[in-house]
Chain A
Amino acid sequence: MNENRNNLKLGIFITLGTICFVAALYLLGAKQNLFGGTFEIKAIFNNVNGLQKGNNVRYSGINVGTVKEIVILNDTAIEVNMMVQIDVHEFIKVDAIASLGNDGLMGNKLVNISPGGSRSRTIEVGETLLSINELDADEMLRRLEETNKNISLITSSLVGIVDKIDKGEGPIGTLLNDNNMALDLAKTMTNIRELSFQTASLSQNLSKSFNNFQSSENTIGMLMNDTVLAAEIRTVVDELKNFGTNSEKISSDLNTIVSGIKKGEGTVGTLLSDSIANDDIIKSIDNLQKGSEAFNENMQALKQNFLFRRYFKKLEKKK
């Protein structure tokens, strides 16, 4: 009886211990997706920064799988094979991006998968994700080291510059150390201040003038505010436009006429271009001049003729 009781207690002890062990194994296995459906996808990186088998894979921050294998393809490409839960397969699109990250500031490395476009197709099993190679801490430190060196150089240069300025060398040094220049500068500042006052008053005056333009009935104000006048001006402008159009026509007509004249077409053209006609006209004018001179002589003779003398004297008296 006592032996049976002991055996029962031992049985309970062993069973409970085994259950605890199996539960622990199950929970650890579930974390590594040993008991659920999974599928494999890949990503290629230049540098995996210490990523190891078994590290987590996250999709939008949720643990969805683990790193199954890391294979060196060549000197610049390292392939990371990941086992991801089958439940999230439909959400991982072909343009989803894999990147390496840290679990917290000092935590383990992990692979982050950022979602792709919603219209893109779902990734196939074994297909390779797009990947981003991020700067690792060493690279950042190297760059920081370079920056520090540059800052050191800049600082030493600045020390030299400040030293020169302090000694009064160069334009800035002279400016800071020369009393006369300081006085000149003070004067210049005074002038600038006065100028600024004047500018301020000028701007005030301008502002007032502008207000006057807006409110008063002077020409500019009317131009700016009177809508009737504006309509009239618009009409005038339209008429001017018409005038311009007409002038254009006239000028084109004149152009045609002038070109015709130049070509010797028409009477004027003939007059201008025909040299014989020209000579004839000159002769005619000459004849006319001679004729008028002869006529004048005749008239003088006629005035002195006793038959007409009396008539001319009457005309002079009337004047």
Chain B
Amino acid sequence: MIQTKGQFQSAKRFLFLVGDIGQFTLRFFREGFHKPFEWKEILKQCGEVGYRSLSLVGVTAFIMGLVLTIQSRPTLVEFGAESWLPAMVSVSLIREIGPVITALICAGKIGSRIGAELGSMRVTEQIDAMEVSGTNPFKYLVTTRVLATSLMLPLLVIFADTIALYGSFLAVNIKGAVSFQLFFNQVFETLEFSDLIPSILKSFFFGFIIGIIGCYMGYNSKKGTEGVGKSANSAVVVASLMVFILDLIAVQITDLFYEL
């Protein structure tokens, strides 16, 4: 009985959380596209999210391409289909692995940063102070960060895909000898618009959800410094989960339009 009551409370809390995040998102749309725009803050956040995450995303993507190619090679060699390696790796990277891994890295790096930053601002009452001083903290803190993550994640995914393909090319050349031109010819021979466009579109939504979850968790942080850590942690966990859920929805929608 007690256990059932506890489960009911958990479900209730979850539904409250979902409703709160929904309202938070609606507020973003209400306030995000009305003047005045915080251009400087948007650019600053773009730099923080995009440029400063590039090295981490780049290294991860390079290793990802390299490892995926090396791991896939023996199976393809067994079937005598080694020449399909560029095609197979490129489709895997562009369609799925590139956007999802980049989004997860960003959920970890950017989501936690935003959650911790806004959380500490909340617990140190800086957000309250902004409200008192007449600045709209939501517009200044949340809108700018969500826009920055939404705009920068697709770019990071493009970089990640490019670097991962280069890593794959190097991996192919460890065992065999394939020219740069032949490798990329085979890659683009296989790829279609239906591979690239949905991948970029879904990475835009991944960025959006990472920004929204990070900001929500930080903006609604409670219980002092403990709450800051909790916000950062929740931001990463929920954003990562949401990335997978969005990916599932994106695959269904892509299949609907492009018949994968």
Roughly how many angstroms separate A16 CA and B160 CA in the complex, as a whole number? 12
Could you show 9 A-B contacts with beta carbons less than 8 Å apart? A6-B47, A6-B51, A9-B51, A10-B51, A13-B51, A17-B159, A21-B200, A28-B191, A28-B193
Q: Tell me whether A10 and B188 are in contact in the complex, defined as CB-CB below 8 angstroms, given that A20-B162, A24-B158, A28-B193 are known contacts.
A: no
B-side contacts of A32, CB under 8 Å: 193
CB distance from B87 to the nearest CB of A (A): 9
Residues 4 to 37 of chain A near chain B (Cβ within 8 Å)? 6-7, 9-10, 13-14, 16-18, 20-21, 24-25, 27-29, 31-32
CA gap between A6 and B40 in the complex, in Å: 11
Among A3, A13, A20, A32, residue most surrounded by chain B Cβ atoms (within 10 Å): A13
A10 with B158: in contact, given A21-B200, A31-B188, A54-B192 (CB under 8 Å)?
Answer: no
Q: Which residues of B are found within 8 Å of A14, using beta-carbon distances?
A: 46, 50, 155
Instruction: Tell me the bound Cα distance from A17 to B46 in angstroms.
Output: 13
Nearest residue (CB) in A for B194 is: A54
Query: Which residues of B (172-194) have their CB < 8 Å from a CB of A?
Result: 184, 188-189, 191-193
Q: Which 3 A-B pairs have the closest CB atoms?
A: A17-B155, A10-B47, A27-B188
Measured between beta carbons, the chain A residues less than 8 angstroms from B43 are 6-7, 10
Which of chain B's residues have a CB closer than 8 A to the CB of A10?
43, 46-47, 50-51
A31 interface neighbour in B50, B189, B200, Cβ under 8 Å: B189
Which residues of chain B have C-beta atoms less than 8 A from A21's C-beta? 155, 158, 200
**Residue B54 at the chain A interface, CB threshold 8 Å:** yes
Evaluate contact between B189 and A16: CB separation under 8 angstroms: no
Q: Do the beta carbons of B196 and A25 come within 8 Å of each other?
A: yes
Asked if A24 meets B196 with Cβ closer than 8 Å, knowing A31-B188, A31-B189, the reply is yes
Least CB distance, B218 to chain A, in whole angstroms? 22
B158 x A20 contact (CB < 8 A): yes
List chain B residues, Cβ under 8 A from A28. 188, 191-193, 196
**Which interface class (under 10, 10 to 19, 20 to 34, 35 or more) fits B?**
20 to 34
* B44 interface residue per 8 A CB criterion: yes
B191/A7 in contact, CB under 8 A? no
Per the bound structure, the CA–CA distance linking A31 and B194 in Å amounts to 13
A residues contacting B by CB (< 8 A) are 3, 6-7, 9-10, 13-14, 16-18, 20-21, 24-25, 27-29, 31-32, 54
Q: Which residue of A lies closest to B45 (CB)?
A: A10
Q: For residue B46, which residue of chain A has the nearest CB?
A: A10
Decide: A13 and B50 in contact? CB cutoff 8 A.
yes
Q: How far is the CA of A54 from the CA of B51 in the complex (A)?
A: 37
A13: chain B residues at CB < 8 Å are 47, 50-51, 54, 155
> Which chain A residue shows the least CB distance to B191?
A28
Instruction: Report B-chain residues with C-beta under 8 Å of the C-beta of A9.
Output: 47, 51
Given A21-B155, A24-B158, output 8 extra A-B contacts at Cβ < 8 Å: A3-B40, A3-B44, A9-B47, A10-B47, A14-B155, A17-B156, A24-B161, A28-B192
How many pairs of A and B residues are in contact by the CB < 8 Å rule? 57
Cα distance A10–B200 in the bound complex, in angstroms: 19
Distance, CA A32 to CA B191, complexed state (A): 11
- Judge whether B159 and A6 touch: CB under 8 Å: no
In the assembled complex, the Cα of A9 lies from the Cα of B55 at a distance in Å of 13
A20 surroundings in chain B (CB, below 8 A): 158-159, 161-162
Q: How far is the CA of A28 from the CA of B187 in the complex (A)?
A: 10
Chain A residues, Cβ within 8 Å of B161 = 20, 24
Residue of A nearest to B79 (CB): A106
Among the listed B44, B54, B193, B200, which residue makes an inter-chain contact with A6, where contact means beta carbons less than 8 Å apart? B44
Contact status of A7 and B196, CB under 8 A, knowing A14-B155, A17-B158: no
A16–B159 contact, CB under 8 A? yes
Chain B residue with Cβ nearest A16: B159
Instruction: Give chain A nearest CB distance to B91 CB in angstroms.
Output: 12
Taking CB atoms, residues of chain A closer than 8 Å to B159 are: 16-17, 20
Distance in angstroms between the alpha carbons of A20 and B192 in the assembled complex: 16
CB distance from B255 to the nearest CB of A (A): 15
A14 to chain B, nearest CB (A): 6
Q: Which residue of chain B has the shortest Cβ distance to A52 in the bound complex? A: B259
Chain B CB within 10 A, most for which of A3, A10, A27, A28: A10
| Chain B contacts for A31, CB-based, 8 A | 188-189
Q: Which residue of A has the minimal Cβ distance to B80?
A: A105
Task: Determine the distance from Cα of A6 to Cα of B45 in the docked complex, in whole angstroms.
Answer: 10
Interface residues of B in 136-159 (CB under 8 A from A): 154-156, 158-159
**Contact bitstring B190-206, A, C-beta under 8 A = 1, else 0:** 01110010001000000
Nearest chain A CB to B252 CB, angstrom units = 20
In the complex, what's the smallest C-beta–C-beta distance from B189 to chain A, in angstroms?
7
* Interchain nearest-CB distance for B67 vs A (Å): 22
Q: Which residues of A contact B50 (CB under 8 A)?
A: 10, 13-14, 17
Q: How far is it, in angstroms, between the C-alpha of A29 and the C-alpha of B193 when the chains are bound?
A: 8
Q: With the chains together, A141 CA to B189 CA distance in Å?
A: 31
Residues of B within 8 A of A3 (CB): 40, 44
* Contact digits for B86-100, partner A, Cβ 8 Å, 1 yes 0 no: 000000000000000
Closest to B83 in A: A104
Report chain B residues within 8 Å CB of A6: 43-44, 47, 51
Shortest Cβ gap from B257 to chain A (Å): 13
